Structure 1
Amino acid sequence: MTLETEIRDALEASFSPTVLAVINESHLHAGHAGDDGSGESHWRVEISTAALDGKSRIAKHRAIHAALGEDIISRIHALSLQIS
């Protein structure tokens, strides 16, 4: 299972989003700090879900990190979140 699939599955299970895009941006950072050569180090997530409505930006980020869990988060160098 790819890291993209793991991220997608974890977020779908936790939030039932109406919009979810999981974009691997690792190729944009090849050779830079945090590039571990795996091709799965830098990610952008675009998500829209009623489950995060009314929460502060920090609370939304914390909820997403909690949903992904330590196993997934520990394998990501950079995670960009766009939450609507």
Structure 2
Amino acid sequence: MNAPSIGPVAREMTRRLQEALQPSRFQLSDDSEKHRGHGGYNPDGESHFSLLIEATAFAGLNRVARQRLVYKALGELMESRVHALAIRAVAPGEAA
């Protein structure tokens, strides 16, 4: 995590992604404040995120299939709480 304090949404995202994909590298950033005044901005924060995740589960998959694995792991958070998620999903050995 990049943020000095981790909120409940980021904690739950982290838990779900680590459990489902067992990443070897993981970085989740809360970018919500950068989107103040834009669509989907939530004054409570934790609405816009950036994710860098490296996992063997991504080996041999294209970008769309990798993103689907991330969305599946996050489940209803993507429908209810997270407005935007920028995903960089790589397999071990690939450039991040």
TM-score interval, smaller chain: over 0.9
Aligned-residue CA RMSD in angstroms? 1.0
| Structure 2 partner of 1:48 | 54
Q: TM-score, normalised by structure 1?
A: 0.93
Higher helix share: 1
Q: Give the whole-Å Cα distance in 1 for the aligned partners of 2:62 and 2:70.
A: 12
Equivalences for 1:1-84 in 2 at 5 Å?
2-70=8-76, 72-74=77-79, 75-84=81-90
Taking only the aligned residue pairs, the percentage that are identical comes to 31
Q: TM-score, normalised by structure 2?
A: 0.82
Specify every segment of 5 or more residues in structure 1 that has no aligned partner in the other structure, as ranges.
none
Q: Which runs of 4+ in 1 moved over 4 A?
A: none
Specify every segment of 5 or more residues in structure 2 that has no aligned partner in the other structure, as ranges.
1-6, 91-96
Question: What's the CA shift string for 1:14-58, capped at 9, x where partnerless?
Answer: 011000111000010011111121211100111000111111111
